[in-house]
Structure 1
């Protein structure tokens, strides 16, 4: 009975999120509360087990850092200088946006990257009177694809890296970066082709852009230098995570608190808190509660066990099924609980005599990370971009996103399947012939 209730509440909530008839945070929180009222789980379980407070706190902290830094005019300065470098050309601007987002998502986590990039992007598109949708789409896709390449780029990779000791930071780069690069090139080329007629240069806006003095937008007060310093320290903390072993959330929270203390007189902490994207944060909380309901009644665990039963321990079948299941499932719900359920399942294959588990780990990582591009709620970065865009009056339609996200996921998974087979499965099978 509990399973039926949890699945029904999830499906109905997902339907209302897709149709966008109601505020998505209100829908997800209502679904979570209904799970509590129906007795699927208790509030204590939701609070301690299912809501990922690390992700919520990381988002909250980065929103504070971005909100304070935005007041200094730094984002406008960077946006204008970047646009002037490409002379206001829409296609080079889109290409540069994609490349910088992908690199940033590989070196940082993709949520942090989009929090830094989206304000700059929205400033640029408004300045040049360009449609924001192609650029927001590029940022989301680039963030998820770029984050796939490294251990710290996407939460599923962090979880896999923590569970498997021999998979180091370098292991993720050498094993995942080649296919990530191919998928990124195909993605960016496709977006340029599909939107080429909308990406038209406006001569008047370009002339105005080239005549602008970017430094005039910088407010050279102590807050500017404090913001830059704290932001660089926070980013350095992220990069040094494998060495200093301090959680990313802790680094972000410390950076946000430090900047609030330093800029309280100039920025005003109350005003900063008012500018936080609370709708996005509460949507995440509700979404975690909805997925927690599926986890509580065993839906995710049953799916994981079903993979073991269906493949009968065959390495190739198992790799491909994990890849496709992770890719599809991650587009429907957040990929974090699915990966959490799959890690012990993959480890269990060793007890069935499967000596080489690496293809399974890479299949899980690729499927979970790349599958997030399927829907607007498939990955944390997607939800953050949608929230920031909506806050600036540039709403991302759920169904329109699907039209581009689903084809990209299908192409990504097919390419990943070919890559895994050629690089890992084929050599392994040949060693036994």
Structure 2
């Protein structure tokens, strides 16, 4: 059997295992990567030295640490309390908290954002005797939405940045045009309108809640330094550079040292903080980098690109729609990280064959694959967490009930963001 087909079978089996056993996804990807090396498709040196993007991993781990410390500081909770107390009515207060959750999630890991905002949402729902379903699900889908907006929002954004040569700044403006950040903000506005329609009937009262107190501002300073540092590295070096990875990692380590020696937290708490980071995704990414590198090495990506191009032919709109629709459907049911790694070079090649700017198709891919995760209760980790939070409150949210929120929200936000991309980048 030709090696190309063996590689394809391994990749398909890996995907299947990820879908069936999502809690063991790192074992699936690392196992597949090991097979690629054993079969000689790629060498160990090539796997670790060329294919695994250590800069992306440093940014991911460092930003996770800063996110955990930011939540520990209680700053997000204090901001949320202030929003509620200054909102004229319940409907606006709830939508404002959902929008704030999204904005925080553009810089902080999605699950962590949902976990810190959920108690605020639940307390508000209890006070007003509201069903918490829409509010808690709203936290998850808004967090997933905004995770696409910046370089540090989500792993797919980091992978996109590495492939396209984008730095932190290019997520805002590229070649003088508004970039993916603004497309996502259009989507967020559309999503906010959707949720306000759900809560508008509760809009006649003003809510008073007990104010939280800020524990420390140091993590906020670290977060600001990370943003400013990434913006500076993007301006100086362009794209994702080693300096970007080192900067975020150093800030993360500095945060841990501050947590231990300045805050004088116990060794157990420091260990729990480090152990609680998403190491499974780190290992998963290492394996996926290697597997997708092997898939590209044997020419499967070129074959897939040619197949899609034969379907699209000369229709730019058809290509845009197919990438968007397929991305939404796939990401609603399987992890979007391996999908986007595979599809980025395919989308770029399709755009080149049609003499288009690659951003048109790559932005469609990023929007579809990230926002598509909102479609189902297991399309993103934040969704799974939100279902668990509701279950603890005695609210059982099944698949069909999620779809009643997930389908309209996904279609509305994706359509709004995609329309912006089409108008600006066509």
User: TM-score normalised to the size of structure 2?
Assistant: 0.70
Cα distance in 2 for residues equivalent to 1:341 and 1:71: 36
For residues 106-140 of structure 1, what are the alpha-carbon distances to aligned partners after superposition, in whole Å with 9 as ceiling and x for unaligned?
xxxx3526467435413313433556653443334
Native 8 Å contact 1:56 1:281 kept in 2: no
Residue aligning to 2:228 = 236
Q: CA deviation at 1:80?
A: 3.3
Q: 1:3 aligns with which of 2, 8, 12?
A: 8
Residue aligning to 1:170 = 173
Cα distance in 1 for residues equivalent to 2:69 and 2:183: 37
Q: CA deviation at 1:145?
A: 3.5
Cα distance in 2 for residues equivalent to 1:134 and 1:93: 14
Cα distance in 2 for residues equivalent to 1:348 and 1:8: 26
Q: In the comparison of the two structures, how many residue pairs are matched?
A: 395
For residues 364-402 of structure 1, what are the alpha-carbon distances to aligned partners after superposition, in whole Å with 9 as ceiling and x for unaligned?
343344334335665xxx436756996999699794655
Question: In structure 2, do the counterparts of structure 1 residues 339 and 301 end up closer, same or farther at CA, with 3 Å as the change threshold?
Answer: farther
Within a 5 Å distance, the mapping from 1:5-404 to structure 2 comes to 5-17=10-22, 24=23, 27-32=24-29, 35=32, 39-42=35-38, 44=44, 54=55, 56-86=57-87, 90-104=90-104, 110=106, 112=108, 114=110, 117-128=113-124, 130=126, 133-148=133-148, 154-155=157-158, 157-159=160-162, 161-162=164-165, 169-171=172-174, 174=178, 176=180, 180-194=184-198, 209=209, 212=210, 214=212, 217-219=213-215, 224-245=216-237, 248-265=244-261, 266-276=264-274, 278=276, 280-283=278-281, 285-286=283-284, 289=287, 293=291, 296-297=294-295, 302-348=303-349, 352=353, 354=355, 357=358, 359-375=360-376, 382-383=380-381, 386=384, 399=399, 401=402, 404=405
Cα distance in 2 for residues equivalent to 1:297 and 1:349: 18
Native 8 Å contact 1:144 1:373 kept in 2: yes
SS of the residue 2:374 aligns to: coil
Native 8 Å contact 1:151 1:161 kept in 2: no
Q: CA deviation at 1:186?
A: 3.1
Native 8 Å contact 2:65 2:277 kept in 1: no
Question: In angstroms, what is the RMSD of aligned CA positions?
Answer: 4.6
For residues 7-60 of structure 1, what are the alpha-carbon distances to aligned partners after superposition, in whole Å with 9 as ceiling and x for unaligned?
23432441344xxxxxx2xx32443465367x3555957766776655554444
Question: In structure 2, do the counterparts of structure 1 residues 253 and 187 end up closer, same or farther at CA, with 3 Å as the change threshold?
Answer: same
Residue aligning to 1:431 = none
Q: CA deviation at 1:279?
A: 7.4
Question: In structure 2, do the counterparts of structure 1 residues 115 and 96 end up closer, same or farther at CA, with 3 Å as the change threshold?
Answer: same
Cα distance in 1 for residues equivalent to 2:221 and 2:333: 39
Cα distance in 2 for residues equivalent to 1:321 and 1:59: 30
Native 8 Å contact 1:313 1:349 kept in 2: no
Native 8 Å contact 1:332 1:377 kept in 2: yes
Q: CA deviation at 1:79?
A: 4.0
Q: CA deviation at 1:70?
A: 4.7
Question: In structure 2, do the counterparts of structure 1 residues 147 and 61 end up closer, same or farther at CA, with 3 Å as the change threshold?
Answer: closer
SS of the residue 1:307 aligns to: helix
User: TM-score normalised to the size of structure 1?
Assistant: 0.69
Residue aligning to 2:410 = 409
Question: In structure 2, do the counterparts of structure 1 residues 374 and 183 end up closer, same or farther at CA, with 3 Å as the change threshold?
Answer: same
* Runs (5+) with no aligned partner, structure 2: 1-5
